[in-house]
Amino acid sequence: MKYLTPKLFECLKDYKKEQLIKDIISGIIVAIIALPLSIALAIASGVGPEQGLYTAIIAGFFIAFFGGSRVQIGGPTAAFVVIIYGIVTKNGVDGLIVATIMAGIFLILMGIFKFGSLIKYIPYTITTGFTCGIAVTLFVGQLKDFFGLKMESVPAEFLNKVIAYGKAAGTINITATIIGLLAVAIMLIWPKVTDKIPGSLIAIIVTTLIVYFAKLDVNTIGSVFGKLNSSFPSFHIPNVSFDMIKELISPALTIAILAGIESLLSAVVSDGMIGDTHKSNAELVGQGLGNIFSGLFGGIPATGAIARTAANVRNGGRTPIAGIVHSITLTLILILLMPLASLIPMTTLAAVLLVVAANMADWKGFARLCKTAPKSDILVLVVTFILTVFFDLVVAIEVGVVMAALLFMKRMSETATVTGWRYLEEDAIEDAGTENLMELNKAIRVFEINGPLFFAAADKLMDIDAKHFTKVIIIRMRAVPAIDASAMKYFHDLYDKAVKRDIRLVFSHVNAQPMKVMQKDGFIDLVGKEYFKANINEAIECAESIIK
Pairing of strands 532-533, 504-508: parallel
Contact 387, 82 (CB under 8 A): no
Q: What is the pLDDT of residues 356-374, one digit of tens each?
A: 888 888 899 999 999 999 9
Pairing of strands 444-450, 417-420: antiparallel
Is the full-model pTM beyond 0.75?
A: yes
Check whether 346 has a pLDDT greater than 50.
Answer: yes
* 508 φ, ψ (degrees, to nearest 5): -120, 130
Element (H, E) at 253: helix 242-274
Nearest by Cα to 55 from 89, 26, 84: 84
Q: Of 16-25, 227-236, 533-542, which gets the smallest average pLDDT? A: 227-236
Burial class of residue 358 (count of CB atoms within 10 Å of its CB; 0-12, 13-18, 19+):
middle
What is the signed CA dihedral for 291, 297, 298, 300, rounded to 10 degrees?
A: -20
Predicted local confidence at residue 306, as pLDDT: 87
Contacting residues for 361 by C-beta, under 8 A, at least 6 apart:
131, 132, 135, 136
Check whether 432 has a pLDDT greater than 70.
Answer: no
Check whether 435 has a pLDDT greater than 80.
Answer: no
Give mean pLDDT, residues 298-318: 92
Check whether 287 has a pLDDT greater than 70.
Answer: yes
Alpha-carbon span 113 to 257, nearest angstrom: 15
Local structure of 155: helix, strand or coil: coil
Contact 45, 393 (CB under 8 A): no
Alpha-carbon span 9 to 18, nearest angstrom: 18
Check whether 315 has a pLDDT greater than 80.
Answer: yes
Q: What is the pLDDT of residues 453-463, one digit of tens each?
A: 998 888 888 88
Report all structural domains of the chain as residue ranges with CATH numbers, in order of start: 2-10+27-361 (no CATH), 417-547 (3.30.750.24)
SS3 sequence of 370-401: HHHCCHHHHHHHHHHHHHHHHCCHHHHHHHHH
How many beta carbons lie within 10 A of that of residue 58, not counting itself? 29
Inter-CA distances, 409 with 412, 416, 477, Å: 5, 11, 20
Predicted local confidence at residue 438, as pLDDT: 63
Alpha-carbon span 536 to 547, nearest angstrom: 17
* 303 φ, ψ (degrees, to nearest 5): -160, 180
What is the signed CA dihedral for 163, 164, 165, 170, rounded to 10 degrees?
A: 110
Predicted local confidence at residue 145, as pLDDT: 94
Contact 222, 211 (CB under 8 A): no
Check whether 430 has a pLDDT greater than 90.
Answer: no
Predicted local confidence at residue 423, as pLDDT: 64
Alpha-carbon span 282 to 3, nearest angstrom: 6
Contacting residues for 230 by C-beta, under 8 A, at least 6 apart:
334, 335, 336, 338, 339
Check whether 450 has a pLDDT greater than 50.
Answer: yes
Check whether 427 has a pLDDT greater than 60.
Answer: no
Helices (H), 113-228: 124-141, 143-147, 158-167, 174-193, 199-214, 221-225
Mean pLDDT of the chain: 91
Percentage of the chain beyond pLDDT 70 is 97
Task: Give the type of residue at 359.
Answer: N
Predicted local confidence at residue 117, as pLDDT: 80
Local structure of 420: helix, strand or coil: strand
How many beta carbons lie within 10 A of that of residue 374, not counting itself? 12
Element (H, E) at 470: none
